[in-house]
């Protein structure tokens, strides 16, 4: 399984990264986890955007899904004919949110985007997907992707949640959000600090942790230093980063 970080900026795009988007590939299956602001552009530098096998959304905050409205345009108006429908797995209300974002009085986008309500477990090609609700102001899920005996767990957005480490148990890679720094006045039940993300990955027994959802107003050096105080092998996600799992 191969993870490519398309965008790892948190909450809004940064000067050097789109918002959340991750390409996951295994044995010919290609999916994208989240499609935040700016990610559709960068995604084209890494893969053919047509013929994706699925898009899985962690939640419906703009920085995690809004480029699907542009993806619809790319699929529908491709010069050599409409591209094949792409399954989109998201929370209840995903189709309505997308139609509202696209405008024109609530367009029917179902010819291009086959929106389905995300469930606890489902299969996309060779990838087994498991999800679990985490701690965020809207319905948000962590996403566990398994194939060929390898496991990637993406936290999505979450505040501290005792179930995250259990859900990610035995992961080869924990792709965990680290939006906050410990010393700041952080709102409750919204995001993890770098230390919390590193600690959760260690509790999960994850072989590696890649910290993501890096908010542009935080110093990356401070985020990394905080995480490495807990787990010396922590690394930060970066646009274009490839992780073989
Ligand atoms: Zn969010």
Could you state, in order of their start, the residue ranges of all structural domains in the chain? Answer: 2-244
Residue 194, burial from CB neighbour count under 10 angstroms (0-12, 13-18, 19+): buried
Distance from the alpha carbon of residue 61 to the mean position of ligand 1, in angstroms: 5
Distance from the alpha carbon of residue 66 to the mean position of ligand 1, in angstroms: 12
Distance from the alpha carbon of residue 148 to the mean position of ligand 1, in angstroms: 30
The phi and psi torsions of 71 (rounded to 5 degrees) equal -60, -40
Label residue 184 by pLDDT band (50, 70, 90).
confident
Distance from the alpha carbon of residue 60 to the mean position of ligand 1, in angstroms: 7
**Torsion region of 106: left, alpha or beta (phi above 0 gives left; psi -120 to 50 gives alpha):** left
Residues 167-179, mean pLDDT to the nearest whole number:
98
Q: Which CATH number fits domain 2-244: 3.60.15.10, 3.40.50.11440, 3.40.50.2300, 2.40.50.100?
A: 3.60.15.10
Lowest mean pLDDT among 75-89, 128-142, 166-180: 75-89
Distance from the alpha carbon of residue 78 to the mean position of ligand 1, in angstroms: 31
What's CA 85's distance to the chain center, in Å?
21
d(CA 7, CA 20): 5
- 134, two tokens: 């985490």
pTM of structure:
0.97
Distance from the alpha carbon of residue 64 to the mean position of ligand 1, in angstroms: 7
Distance from the alpha carbon of residue 156 to the mean position of ligand 1, in angstroms: 8
Distance from the alpha carbon of residue 245 to the mean position of ligand 1, in angstroms: 26
Does 133 score more than 80 pLDDT?
Answer: yes
Does 104 score more than 90 pLDDT?
Answer: no
Distance from the alpha carbon of residue 82 to the mean position of ligand 1, in angstroms: 31
User: Greater confidence, 107 or 81?
Assistant: 81
């Amino acid at each position: 399984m191969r993870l490519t970080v398309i965008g790892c900026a948190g909450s809004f795009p940064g000067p050097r990264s789109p918002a959340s988007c991750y390409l996951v590939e295994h044995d010919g299956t290609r999916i994208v986890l989240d499609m935040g602001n700016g990610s559709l552009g960068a995604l084209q530098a890494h893969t053919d955007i047509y013929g994706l096998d699925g898009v899985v959304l962690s939640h419906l905050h703009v920085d995690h899904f809004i480029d699907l409205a542009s993806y619809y345009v790319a699929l529908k108006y491709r010069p050599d004919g409409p591209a094949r429908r792409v399954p989109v797995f998201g929370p209840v209300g995903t189709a309505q949110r997308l139609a509202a974002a696209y405008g024109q009085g609530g367009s029917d986008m179902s010819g291009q985007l086959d929106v389905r309500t995300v469930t606890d477990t489902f299969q996309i090609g060779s990838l087994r997907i498991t999800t679990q609700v985490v701690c965020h102001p809207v319905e948000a899920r962590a996403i566990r992707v398994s194939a060929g005996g390898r496991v990637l767990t993406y936290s999505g957005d979450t505040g501290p949640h005792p179930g995250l480490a259990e859900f990610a148990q035995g992961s080869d890679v924990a792709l965990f959000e680290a939006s906050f720094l410990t010393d700041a006045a952080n709102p409750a039940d919204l995001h993890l600090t770098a230390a919390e993300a590193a600690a959760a990955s260690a509790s999960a027994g994850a072989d590696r942790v890649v910290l993501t959802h890096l908010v542009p107003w935080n110093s990356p050096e401070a985020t990394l230093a905080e995480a490495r105080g807990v787990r010396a092998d922590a690394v930060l996600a970066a646009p274009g980063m490839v992780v073989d799992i």
